[in-house]
Amino acid sequence: MYVAVKGGEAAISNAHALLADRRRGDRTVPALRLDQIIEQLGLAVDRAMGEGSLYDKELAALALVQARGDLIEAIFLVRAYRTTLPRFGYSRPIETGTMLIERRISATFKDLPGGQVLGPTFDYTHRLLDPSIVDGDVPAPVTRDAEAEPAPRVTDLLGRQGLMEPDGPTDPEREVGDLTREPLEFPLNRDLRLQALARGDEGFLLALGYSTQRGYGRTHPFVGEIRIGEVDVEFEVPELGFAVNLGRIRVTECQMVNQFKGSAKIPPQFTRGYGLVFGQAERKAMAMSLCDRALRAREFGEDIVAPAQDEEFVIAHSDNVQATGFVEHLKLPHYVDFQAELDLIRRMRAEHEGKQEAAE
């Protein structure tokens, strides 16, 4: 017999009121403003935008406060919000080669056009907690007047000599896959993999990237280049008949250079993994590029022996909103399912007892 159960409305309502209270905390402490979060917790905002797959700093900051700083909950909120808005269309591909560069480094070339620009990095800091930053009193950064030197992508430099696998041809006829419109069907094209990786969970991709370094699908990576900065978003406006710039967004790009591949037709050349993420998200872009390269195993005819090379394993589990949804649903009432299990185990135990008694 199935008995429907209702109840809990008052408890739920009071729980949400308690959540609001705990979120606000001590009322004598000033409430956070969104501009404070955008300015001072910028990398958390960037992560909520990147994995929320929606570039909007105010929304990401609001999501962070509403989620009490729980990043995955914030990402969930951002994803939910985006479903409420109409889609105007697709931008032209952004041009990372003409980025307004804030940081640009290469681990493979010391001297390169445009130079090694460290930018606002945690690298070379001592990782010692510094109580003095709480004062908020910081001098303006040092400036150096310099001719803006073009900084071509490192992979294009080596590519000219034929040592680097080229970006490959673009087929203008082929429709670009969009996982927000069509359910994923494996095996995937690289465009869909890159889309999934760009919004994938940083921790998951970091662990997988790390696993390739430790020997599970080794790819011998070098950071060809990391660049962080602003790019224009150009959008073809039908009513105008030409493309306009919608504004600038900050992105992080990582070019991972990996060991060689060649064939009867193509002499040995470096292969590449690619990472591109909203905001300043260097670790994520690096992890993405390691995973992108590992997932190209099929394309290069490599043996698929490690988790990071298993496309379905990686892509089907990289989305933290999906993952948290399925894991967290376990805490919801499963009274009826569990009742069935209880019945089953009682029957099994009765049979077991029956057999024991028969044996005696």
Partner 1 sequence: MQTASSNQNQPRKAALDTLAVAPSRALADLWDRWADKPDYAKVRGPEVGLVMVRGRAGGGGAPFNLGEASVSRASVRIASGQVGHGYCLGRDLAKAEVIAIIDALWQREAAAVEAEIIAPLQELTRVSTLKKQAEAAATKVDFFTMVRGDN
Which residues between 221 and 240 bind partner 1 (CB under 8 A)?
Answer: 229-230, 232-237, 239-240
Nearest to 308 by CA among 216, 202, 193, 190: 216
Q: Measured between alpha carbons, how far is 205 from 192 in angstroms, rounded to an integer?
A: 16
Main-chain dihedrals φ then ψ at residue 169, nearest 5 degrees: -75, 155
Name which position in 170, 186, 215, 335 contacts partner 1 (CB under 8 A). 170
Among 44, 64, 77, 198, the residue binding partner 1 under the rule CB under 8 A is: 198
Q: How far is the CB of 9 from partner 1 (least distance, A)?
A: 33
Site membership for partner 1, residue 107 (CB under 8 A): no
Q: Which of 133, 128, 123, 125 is nearest to 103 (CA)?
A: 123
**Could you give the CA distance from residue 262 to residue 256 in angstroms, rounded to a whole number?**
18
What φ, ψ does residue 21 adopt, rounded to 5°?
A: -65, -50
Q: Tokens representing 219?
A: 């790819």
What's the min distance (Å) between Cβ of 270 and partner 1?
A: 12
Q: Exactly one of 136, 141, 150, 301 binds partner 1 (CB under 8 A); which one?
A: 141
Q: Which of 242, 301, 357, 358 binds partner 1 (CB under 8 A)?
A: 242
Q: Which is nearer to partner 1, 67 or 257 (CB)?
A: 257
Touching partner 1, residues 120-139 (CB under 8 A):
120
Question: From residue 129, how far is each of 126, 133, 280, 313 by CA, in Å?
Answer: 9, 9, 22, 38
Q: Which of 190, 218, 261, 317 binds partner 1 (CB under 8 A)?
A: 190
Kindly state whether residue 46 participates in binding partner 1, applying the rule CB under 8 A. no
Stretch that binds partner 1, among 30-38, 39-47, 90-98, 324-332 (CB under 8 A): 90-98
Distance CA 153, CA 160 (A): 11
Q: Which is nearer to partner 1, 59 or 208 (CB)?
A: 59
Q: Which of 257, 268, 251, 261 is nearest to 293 (CA)?
A: 257
- Least separation in angstroms between residue 198's CB and partner 1 is 5
DSSP helix/strand/coil, 71: helix
Pick left, alpha or beta for residue 303 (phi over 0 → left; psi -120 to 50 → alpha; otherwise beta). beta
283-302: contacts with partner 1 (CB under 8 A) = none
Q: Identify residues 297-356 at the interface with partner 1 (CB under 8 A).
A: none
- Among residues 63, 158, 278, 311, the one that binds partner 1 under rule CB under 8 A: 278
Return the number of the residue (111 or 337) whose C-beta is nearest partner 1. 111
Tokens 């705990």 sit at which residue?
22
Confirm or reject binding of residue 119 to partner 1 (CB under 8 A).
yes
Selected range binding partner 1 among 130-138, 160-168, 303-311, 333-341, rule: CB under 8 A: 160-168
The correct pick among 107, 191, 204, 323 for binding partner 1 (CB under 8 A) is: 191
**Contact residue for partner 1 among 27, 126, 127, 174 (CB under 8 A):** 174
Contact flag: residue 96 with partner 1 (CB under 8 A): yes
Name 64's Cβ contacts closer than 8 Å, sequence gap at least 6: 37, 41, 44, 45, 48, 71, 74
